Structure 1
Amino acid sequence: MSIHFFDDKNKGKTLEAQELLFRKPYTWLITFSITTLNFLITYNLKNIGIQYLYFYVLDIITTYIIIEFYALGVKVLNKKIPLHQDFVKRVTYQLTLHTLSVVIFSILLNELLDYIFFNGERLSLSFNFYTQDTVLALVFILFFHCLYLGLYLLSTKRIAKEEKSPKVKVIQGMSFKLMDLKEILCVYTSLGTTYVVNDHNKKFVLEKTLGEFEEMSSGRFFRANRQFIVSLAIIDSFKSAENGKVEVFLNAGTVADLSGSIFVSRSKASSFRAWINAHRQ
């Protein structure tokens, strides 16, 4: 049985960071912030009257709808041109076609609401609206692009940092060796000593206990029982055994201690199968 890690297993994590912008608490916060800033820029507060409160509420609704339209465009782009597949092409489309569509939608929406609530007398075909408000909307859209793409880049940088495998110290003869977690196939105990087996089927003594290793290791390892922690790479095959257990056959080469099979207890059997399914193609 051949098992491989997903190449883009962290795709969901990177999407998760920037998609926070489109969750309701953040969407409303951004809506109020943009509307208030736009209001302060557009109107002279010295001459403000009660009608401006009406304008403000309507502008909040308008901004919220535009942000939802912006989010819809991003979702379409995420399906057609995901950031993790072709970043340059995606940014190009987002800065051109997506920006243009949001600007056009913003103009049409403002004109529609102006016609509904003000009989077209507030904005319709207004020179100030097209030379000031529309330009300001374009600035906000570009800022939103920068915020969205910036969150993506920060999340990929964070994940890349997390992906750097920590090293463990093992004993090699009379000296010590630092071994990358990605090199380790299996960790097990025998007669009170903890051993690691690397990807060349060589055995080393580990100063840590199984519990200590389990705490520092990532999801690429599974604690099969009290004696063994295994990676996917060392598993040759597995099958159901009596009493709900799972019998696991290891591909350990010349390591005598791993020549037979090991058993995953009934209580861990479902977790083991879920771990296998989550990391294989």
Structure 2
Amino acid sequence: MTQPTRLSRRNFYHPDLWVFLIAIPFISAFNYYLTYSNIQFDSFLLFRFSIDTFQGYAAWLLVRWIIFYLDTKIPFQPLFLKRISIQVVLTMVAGLVFLALSTELLSILFKGEPAPIHFYTKDLVIISIWFFVINGFYIGMFFYRQWEDSENEKQSLKPELDGFPVRTGNQLLLVRYSDIALFFVEEDYVQLISNSGKNYLLDLSLDKIEQKLSPLDFFRVNRQYIVSRLIVTGFKRLENGKLLVQLKTAIKSPEELTVSRTKAPAFKRWFLPQE
């Protein structure tokens, strides 16, 4: 399995930054709901909530740094259980110790006394559950990225078809790209016309067909037509900057193919790439 490197790991766990920047204030609010039965909404509550939220951000960044550090020292594979155990214990201990020390310091600075006992018997117990959640997110994202990479690798190993699959009756045929003249939409149906003039009905939309074609060999003339470079012999300028696409005489298009003024420059670059 691929292990995130020092340069790629930030993207490897994406979108962890946005998730926790948004989630931590909600977590702080939920902790208040679980901890205090009588909450008075005043300026002091807002001040305490802000302090607790900033503490939460700092604790999460500490946990995040530990996870990234472990990525470089103890990969998930083949030491999966060892890595998970060390990560969970280390992040939880470090996070809880940081919160305990910072809370004690803030309590002495602002109140002149140590933190109340219920902070250790109730608050930290609730907070420890959130460290399991944070670890679950990062572990889940790691294996999701591994699965994603695996699927991408499978796709890349699939042999590329040298044509477009079509159905006719009970047969499945492969029309070579070099034998495709154009695709067009008529009465909500997409059709493929081959160089020999045969028509095939397709189940895909023109948008999805366009995604499967090489942009070097095919061009989306307008909403209804995609043409192959092999059948285009030239173009004629029309009024208002439009273009009339000229095709080989053997190809019978259902109607004249025109390119809009806005797409005309792209068509010219496609047809004459060296100009």
**TM-score (norm: length of structure 1):** 0.52
Deviations 1:24-63 (A, max 9, x none): x444212212111112222235544432122111111111
Deviations 1:170-222 (A, max 9, x none): 79xxxx9x9xxxxxxxxxxxxx89xxxxxxxxxxxxxxxxx95799xxxxxxx
Measured in 2, the distance between the counterparts of 1:170 and 1:45 equals 71
Distance 1:167 1:213, change over 3 A: farther
Alpha-carbon shift at residue 83 of structure 1 (Å): 2.9
Matches within 5 A, 1:32-71: 32-45=25-38, 47-71=40-64
Distance 1:120 1:98, change over 3 A: same
Alpha-carbon shift at residue 67 of structure 1 (Å): 1.2
Confirm or deny that 1:149 pairs with 2:144: no
Measured in 1, the distance between the counterparts of 2:64 and 2:4 equals 21
Q: Which residue of 2 aligns with 1:90?
A: 83
CA contact (8 A) 1:10 1:159 kept: no
Give the AA of the match of 1:66: A
Q: Which residue of 2 aligns with 1:167?
A: 159
Q: How many aligned residue pairs are there?
A: 174
Task: Note the residue ranges of structure 1 that are not aligned, 5 or more in a row.
Answer: 1-6, 179-191, 194-210, 216-281
**TM-score (norm: length of structure 2):** 0.53
Q: Which residue of 1 aligns with 2:117?
A: 127
Q: Percent identity?
A: 19
CA contact (8 A) 1:14 1:152 kept: no
Task: Note the residue ranges of structure 2 that are not aligned, 5 or more in a row.
Answer: 164-171, 180-211, 217-275
Q: Which residue of 1 aligns with 2:93?
A: 100
Please state whether the residue corresponding to 2:66 is helix, strand or coil: helix
Distance 1:46 1:32, change over 3 A: closer
Alpha-carbon shift at residue 66 of structure 1 (Å): 1.0
Q: Which residue of 2 aligns with 1:81?
A: 74
From the two aligned structures, give the one with the greater helix fraction: 1
CA contact (8 A) 2:3 2:75 kept: no
Measured in 1, the distance between the counterparts of 2:37 and 2:103 equals 20
Please state whether the residue corresponding to 1:167 is helix, strand or coil: coil
Measured in 1, the distance between the counterparts of 2:136 and 2:74 equals 17
Measured in 1, the distance between the counterparts of 2:97 and 2:39 equals 32
Q: Which residue of 1 aligns with 2:196?
A: none
Q: Which residue of 2 aligns with 1:20?
A: 15
Distance 1:167 1:100, change over 3 A: same
Give the AA of the match of 2:11: E
CA contact (8 A) 2:59 2:98 kept: yes
Of 129, 132, 135, which aligns to 1:139?
A: 129
- The structure number with the bigger radius of gyration is 2
Measured in 1, the distance between the counterparts of 2:40 and 2:25 equals 22
Deviations 1:99-136 (A, max 9, x none): 21221122111111211222225xx2x23111110101
Please state whether the residue corresponding to 1:168 is helix, strand or coil: coil
Measured in 1, the distance between the counterparts of 2:33 and 2:59 equals 19
Alpha-carbon shift at residue 13 of structure 1 (Å): 6.2
Give the AA of the match of 1:166: K
Supply the RMSD in Å over aligned alpha carbons: 3.7
CA contact (8 A) 1:28 1:64 kept: yes
Alpha-carbon shift at residue 20 of structure 1 (Å): 3.0
Q: Which residue of 1 aligns with 2:111?
A: 118
